[in-house]
A and B are shown apart, each in its own frame.
Chain A
Amino acid sequence: MVRKIIITGILLFVIFNAMLYLLPIKKRFVYTDVEKSERFLYAGRKFSVITAGSSLIGNFTFETEKRKNYFNLSLPPSGGCTGVKILALTNNIPDTLYLETNYISRGFNNVLIDGLLDKRSYYAKLIFPALQEQNKFFPLIIDKFKSGNTAQASKRKPKDDLFLQLFASTKEEYSKPVNLVTYNKTLSELKKHLEYLSAKGTFIAFFEVPIEHDLVNSPKLVSQRQALKLAFADKKYNWIQPDTINRYYTGDGKHLLEESFVRFTKYFKTQCNLLKQQGKK
């Protein structure tokens, strides 16, 4: 019996791996930072445009029918620094990198990076793709049979009960300035990785995702912004100016609701084009 159990288990495992190799089975939407970074790492190709950031840009896409070389490396809850480090350490050099700065003070999720780049685990997952988080069996099956865009931003009404509760805790989170000692350490490590990418020819631009109006000038964001601007004052770093005209609504003070997200995406794309044109001039 023991032998039969083990043989059955291994046989099914081999068949599933073969299916992943041979059939175009892939989850349409990946959510966690492990899934996202694995998808990026095992994609087997280079991307020319990359956005790196936190869950605030989780729904963001640049991809069109014409543009298939974009990757959104939004890593909730790790944030943009982790994304940049993954790019630098894996030598994935994009032409353009847009870096979201809202959660840049979160620093680097080295546990994630070490796990991802551990040689044994990397090769095991490369040979047996079934071991990858993004290929987890049930979510993959569900994704195949569940239609519709499940990665949409929240459709909740603004200012509902949940919003008030969540906004209160977000407000508290944003009421304290960042710890400058740790933050500056993070920024100097980030600079090292960005310098590397820039030296290899990557166009780098920072941007901030709009959040609830009351929080825009909160102690946390102000202190974070000031130190960031100071650390990346060099002209080779570009900045997408925040949208001061439109008003944006969130589900919890920081994550944009669907309508606002669509508006921001439009604004962001226009600004990117402008920036690129200025760069060419």
Chain B
Amino acid sequence: MLFNSLVFLVLVLITFIVYYIPGLKKYQVGILIVSSFVFYAYYKPILLLLFITSILLNTSSSYIVLKEDSVSKRKKVAAFAIALNLLILAFFKYTPLISHTFYKELELNGSWREFFFTIPLPIGISFYTFEGISLLIDVLRDKNSLKEKHNSFWEHLVKTSFFISFFPHLIAGPILKAHDFYPQIKEKYFSDINWEKVIKHLILGYFLKMVVADNLNEITVNITYPFFLGYSSLNLLLLLFGYSMQIFADFAGYSSIAIGLGFLFGYNLPRNFHFPYISQSFAEFWTRWHISLSTWLKEYLYFPLGGNRKGQWRTYFNLFTVMLLGGFWHGAGWSYALWGFGHGSFLAIERLIKDRVKVNNTLLVQILQTGMVFLVVTFLWLLFKLPNFDQVIQFFKALIDNRSMRFNISSKELNLVMLSSFVVLYHACYLLFKNNKVSHATNYNIQWVSYGVLLFLILVNSGNQNAFIYFQF
């Protein structure tokens, strides 16, 4: 179910009303679980089977880990369950890719191997698998002291089902960590809703998605092969810039809606974006983009690999490995791996340079660094838009060959600039206001006028309804 569909709004409305009925307080978690299952199963109910299997696997194994006293046994159970989680993810996500790599589809006509080409990708599997793993590691580390709180298996099952399925974050994050979320599970009251936070997050989220991303999508479609061959180099750069803005608006928009919905039901979901395009380094970029994934990778992969505690070269290797796996997490395609390889390489090289060269942090240097990081990140997004690597090469070839073509400024290009300018403005406002102290009254006035204008633009300039880009991951 899409956040920007009418049926979703109806589901949220019904859930909201039932959730806050005073007599039903005891069942609040159950109500949200039922709604989440409806949300997940709406288009393909069959996918619920795998989803429930994943919940049961993680509930039962984490419960064993919680109740078991022997450390070695706990470790074995957790390791087994994590391996099983990854196996399920690998099977559904990567089998078609591996099959395509080793066999040609045509050769398989009628063969049993054909099955591996057609395995459907269950929506949100990467997200809920990572959340299951987070639960297992957390109970193993005893981080959230669930032991005392979850006495019965049933109670643990209910809370785990809720943690994994809570619909605002279910399909595209933010990826929750068990130790952050479980302590929040308690009775919620209508009077505690912070409406200002809810409305602001929802308006910003829907604006970024429906006004910016969905409209840009209609323009950046021209990046697809072979249409980009007919554009001048400058037009191609502009399209790529637009795609960079689109992917931000799409994903940040989703996250903002998710956070707003979380507040509506009394839950605080973690921030997923923090003005990523002002980053002055790749390391900083990954503390601002898809924060819940990068912290997950840092906490559950980078640190266990040794982080930066095992010497310089091991640090470079760890950074590279984490990003490569992060790339693979995004999609079952070699282009995603290459995207991760690119980010991993830049992170490692940047670290290597920083370890050896000291640069004065002047304003000019800061601007140059921000520009360079943005440029590299934007060019790497091309691997998301053109999953066929040959086409990426052709795009770069067109970028060089089409220099002599005239820069065309039609209404399409102007619209792209206009829509992208909101993302630029969003980042610029943060830069302008973060250090300058604006009076409370001015800040208040700027905010209600801005959000009012965004609401107006949602009503009069929404694009065609499109799925969120991150749904495919």
Interface flags, B447-464, vs A, CB<8A=1, else 0:
111011111111111000
Residues A8 and B414 in contact, CB atoms below 8 Å apart: no
Known interface pairs A1-B448, A150-B410. Does A9 touch B415 (Cβ–Cβ under 8 Å)?
Answer: no
Q: Does A45 contact B (CB under 8 A)?
A: no
Residues B411 and A1 in contact, CB atoms below 8 Å apart: no
Known interface pairs A12-B453, A142-B411. Does A137 touch B460 (Cβ–Cβ under 8 Å)?
Answer: yes
Interface flags, A113-150, vs B, CB<8A=1, else 0:
00000000000000000110001111100110010001
Residues of A within 8 A of B225 (CB): 165
Residues A5 and B199 in contact, CB atoms below 8 Å apart: yes
How many angstroms from the CA of A136 to the CA of B195 in the assembled complex? Answer: 29
Residues A1 and B447 in contact, CB atoms below 8 Å apart: yes
How many angstroms from the CA of A135 to the CA of B459 in the assembled complex? Answer: 11
Residues of A within 8 A of B459 (CB): 9, 13, 130-131
How many angstroms from the CA of A130 to the CA of B460 in the assembled complex? Answer: 6
Chain A residue at smallest Cβ distance from B452: A8
Residues B452 and A9 in contact, CB atoms below 8 Å apart: yes
Residues A1 and B444 in contact, CB atoms below 8 Å apart: yes
Query: B459 to chain A: closest CB distance in Å?
Result: 5
Chain B residue at smallest Cβ distance from A139: B415
Residues A150 and B411 in contact, CB atoms below 8 Å apart: yes
How many angstroms from the CA of A77 to the CA of B419 in the assembled complex? Answer: 25
Q: Does A4 contact B (CB under 8 A)?
A: yes
Q: Does A6 contact B (CB under 8 A)?
A: yes
Q: In the complex, which of the residues A5, A137, A143 contacts B203, with contact meaning CB atoms closer than 8 Å?
A: A5
Q: Does A166 contact B (CB under 8 A)?
A: yes
Residues A7 and B452 in contact, CB atoms below 8 Å apart: yes
Q: How large is the interface on B (under 10, 10 to 19, 20 to 34, 35 or more residues)?
A: 20 to 34
Q: How large is the interface on A (under 10, 10 to 19, 20 to 34, 35 or more residues)?
A: 20 to 34
Q: Does B45 contact A (CB under 8 A)?
A: no
How many angstroms from the CA of A16 to the CA of B414 in the assembled complex? Answer: 21
Residues A13 and B460 in contact, CB atoms below 8 Å apart: yes
Residues of B within 8 A of A8 (CB): 448-449, 451-453, 455-456
Q: Does A156 contact B (CB under 8 A)?
A: yes
How many angstroms from the CA of A130 to the CA of B461 in the assembled complex? Answer: 9
Query: A66 to chain B: closest CB distance in Å?
Result: 29
Q: In the complex, which of the residues A1, A10, A12, A137 contacts B196, with contact meaning CB atoms closer than 8 Å?
A: A1
Residues B411 and A146 in contact, CB atoms below 8 Å apart: yes
Residues A12 and B226 in contact, CB atoms below 8 Å apart: no
B-facing residues in A1-60 (Cβ within 8 Å): 1-2, 4-13, 16
Residues of A within 8 A of B230 (CB): 156, 160, 162
Q: Does B418 contact A (CB under 8 A)?
A: yes
Query: A251 to chain B: closest CB distance in Å?
Result: 8
30 A/B residue pairs, CB under 8 Å, sorted by A: A1-B444, A2-B195, A5-B199, A5-B448, A5-B451, A5-B455, A8-B448, A8-B452, A9-B458, A9-B459, A10-B455, A11-B452, A12-B452, A13-B459, A16-B460, A136-B460, A136-B461, A137-B457, A138-B419, A138-B461, A142-B415, A146-B414, A156-B230, A160-B230, A162-B227, A162-B229, A162-B230, A165-B225, A165-B226, A166-B226
Could you list which residues of chain A lie within 8 angstroms of chain B, going by C-beta atoms? 1-2, 4-13, 16, 130-131, 135-139, 142-143, 146, 150, 156, 160-162, 165-166, 169
Q: When A and B form their complex, which 3 residue pairs have the shortest distance between CB atoms, in order from nearest?
A: A8-B452, A9-B455, A165-B226
